[in-house]
Chain A
Amino acid sequence: MDLIASLYTGSGYWNPLVWLIAIVVVFVIVYLIWSRGESGYKKGTLQTTPFISGNPEPEKSGVHVPGGNLYWGYTEALKGYYSRLVPLHTGRLNDYLLWYLGVTAIIMVVVVVTA
């Protein structure tokens, strides 16, 4: 049937419907394992509060990690790269124009020389 046609990529093929069936099978297996687990779980009891070495649990709003704190390690590790890349984004229109003209000039040299 045309609708379930595979996508051929030159080296292989991809059929998302087969993938979906596989995912459904995996979910069924996961559900079966989960359903055989401990059934004594009770919401709102000590079972659901975090254990922080006996310290009191902070307010929920105080434990949210904002976006700026994520990937600190990544940007720190690539500090050398970012310290060069970010300053290029000056926000000045003159610089934008210079980049445009510079790229035009480079492409001009490459195209004309190799023609």
Chain B
Amino acid sequence: MITDAIIANSPALLVMIPLIAAFACPFIGRISPAVRNIWVVGAMVLTAAMALLLAGEVFSSGTVVYTFGASAPGMSVPPDSGGIPVRIVFTVDAMSALMQIIGAITGLSIVLYSIAGDRRHTGLESYYTLYLLMIAGVMGMVSTGDLFNFFVFLEILSISSAGLIAYRIDRGVAVEAAVKYFVLSTIGAMVILVAIGIFYGEYDALNIAVIASRMQFTLLDQVALVLMIAALGMKCGAVPMHFWTPDAYSMAPSSITAMLVVASQASLYGLFRVVFTLYNVTLNAATVGWIIIVLGVLSMVVGVTMAIPQKDVKRLMAYHAISQTGYMLLGVGVGLAVLGNQSLLDAFGYVAMEGGIFHIINHAMYKGLLFLTAGAIFYRIGTRNLNRMGGLGHNMKYTMVFFVIGALAIAGIPPFNGFASKLMIYESVFMFNPILSIIAMVVSILTLASFVKVFHSIFMGPRLPEYADVKEAPAPMLIGMGILAAVVVLFGLFPGVVVDHLIEPAAQALVNQGAYISAVMGGA
């Protein structure tokens, strides 16, 4: 009975639990740091459990529609509303569920890591409050079926992220990075609000399913589409709108940087939701597909080439995050470019999209892991400068193993998860345009070269005198890294299972606009 009620209300609980936990955190923190830590970990465990429960429901029974305030959660269209879902509606399909799984696994690993990694700092009540708000923002963005609430959750995510980027004031540099992020995020969010206003003016609706069912692709719709693509592209760090990314990623605490990766992916989710679910075949798929492909290729090439000469390990990893986002844009962009052509979609479009979507979850795991290893090293030696590191493999063996797993995964080396998704992208994109596939492979080689340098700089060489007494990272940090490393290995060893059960349904959910609309509107 209670279990049924929890499952039935899981979409609401998924956002409610981190929100309530966040606002209670400053009060709980006054009791004692230990109680606060238990509170935060407990809230994150519950949120992750909700996400996994809901995902299980979605992958077994199909799209879950949850209507706030309705007599029954599934009643999105009240009988007296004229066929319009007037209430706030969460629409959780396979793509949303996949993003929730990413948020749950990464979020939980980061909290465990933070308990040890950030214990020396002050103001941790505010830190965890903002962190839980980030979780609520991500979960809300990927669950909502309503454009205005998408904007609201995007703002929650941006504000909390900006606060956390500036958390370690660090002679003002972190605050500068946070201000840049905040200004760009706010302008991007305002632009998205203008696009939402255009939809509301045209179609009298804010619900994605309703707007999608009425989409005409008028000049105003084209303007709204461009505003959304550019704003969400900037938020996910696509080149040449990526400049905030290395600043923010490098200055945030490492645990927060790992979460910023997920936050960027929530924006990427928004971009895919807009082009596939909101517009689908009404737009000029080839043109918009190629725009996304070009953004992807630029991100891959500029990201990796800017990473190689970096001397700050986190800045280097931030450029790699940009580069990896390029793979996702490339894969899904190819799927979009052939959206109107069923034979091409069947021949390689679906596989390209699946590769791109698979890369989202893979990237969240291995890039999160890499940022956490960078944080563990900073925690022990107090520098991010590669020129001042060396020989740490003697003292931090577990951290080194986790780093190697993450580095091999990001470079696309078998049998780790990055190889599986990149292989899908290479082979499917090759059938679309061989040059794009070759560029993707060259970028992978450069990624490997870059991480060979990082590995050598940090771990190899003789034990340096200044780091002779350095100890391994604390156990909770290792547990956080271990969870992500385990997922990287498991997804790499059993990619067929992951693709069949998680990725393929997510790709189908994106392409099949009719199913999304009918899940919300029913026969209305």
A residues sitting closer than 8 Å to B (CB atoms) are 2-12, 14-17, 19-20, 60-61, 63-68, 70-71, 74-75, 78, 81-82, 85-86, 88-89, 91, 93, 95-97, 99-100, 103-104, 107-108, 110-112, 114-115
Contacts and interface: CB of A to CB of B under 8 A. Distances in A.
B72 interface: no
Interface stretch (B11-19, B28-36, B104-112, B303-311): B303-311
B492 A16 contact: yes
A104 B227 CA distance: 7
Contacts of A19: 414-415
A99 B492 CA distance: 37
A100 B309 CA distance: 25
Given A71-B309, A99-B243, A100-B234, A11 B431 contact: yes
B280 to A, nearest CB: 15
A112 to B, nearest CB: 5
Q: A7, A78, A108: which has the most chain B beta carbons within 10 Å?
A: A7
A18 B240 CA distance: 41
Contacts of A65: 456, 461
- 3 tightest A-B contacts by CB? A67-B457, A67-B386, A60-B462
B428 A5 contact: no
A91 B230 CA distance: 20
Contacts of B223: 108, 112
Given A85-B302, A107-B226, A114 B284 contact: yes
B231 to A, nearest CB: 8
B440 to A, nearest CB: 13
A112 B243 CA distance: 27
A42 B414 CA distance: 36
B414 A16 contact: yes
Nearest to B302: A85
A99 B241 CA distance: 6
B414 A10 contact: no
Given A104-B226, A104-B227, A112 B184 contact: no
B420 A7 contact: yes
A111 B243 contact: no
Interface string B453-487: 11011100111110000000000000000000000
A52 to B, nearest CB: 15
A85 B230 contact: no
Contacts of B243: 89, 95-96, 99
B270 to A, nearest CB: 16
B187 A11 contact: no
**Residue from the set A65, A95, A115 with the largest chain B CB neighbour count within 10 Å:** A115
B180 interface: yes
Contact of B420 (A16, A81, A114): A16
Contact of B389 (A5, A67, A114): A67
A114 B222 CA distance: 10
A89 B302 CA distance: 11
B465 A14 contact: no
Nearest to B311: A68
Contacts of A5: 494, 496-497, 500
Given A7-B499, A103-B230, A16 B306 contact: no
Contacts of A70: 453, 456-457
Interface residues of B, number: 73
Contact of A111 (B225, B386, B428, B465): B225
Task: Tell me the interface secondary structure of chain A in the complex.
Answer: helix
A66 B389 CA distance: 7
B330 interface: no
10 contacts: A9-B427, A10-B348, A10-B431, A61-B464, A66-B386, A95-B243, A108-B223, A110-B287, A112-B222, A115-B222
B217 A107 contact: no
B347 interface: yes
A74 to B, nearest CB: 7
B244 interface: yes
A12 B423 CA distance: 10
B291 A100 contact: no
B390 interface: yes
Contacts of A74: 308, 449
B217 A67 contact: no
Given A10-B428, A16-B493, A93 B386 contact: no
A42 B84 CA distance: 82
A10 B309 CA distance: 36
B179 interface: yes
B420 A14 contact: yes
A85 B219 CA distance: 35
Contacts of B463: 60-61
Nearest to B454: A67
Contacts of A10: 347-348, 351, 424, 427-428, 431
B247 A67 contact: no
Contacts of A7: 420, 423-424, 495-496, 499
Contacts of B217: 115
Contacts of A115: 217, 219, 222, 284, 287
Nearest to B416: A16
A75 B446 CA distance: 12
A60 B462 CA distance: 6
B85 interface: no
Contacts of A93: 179-180, 183-184
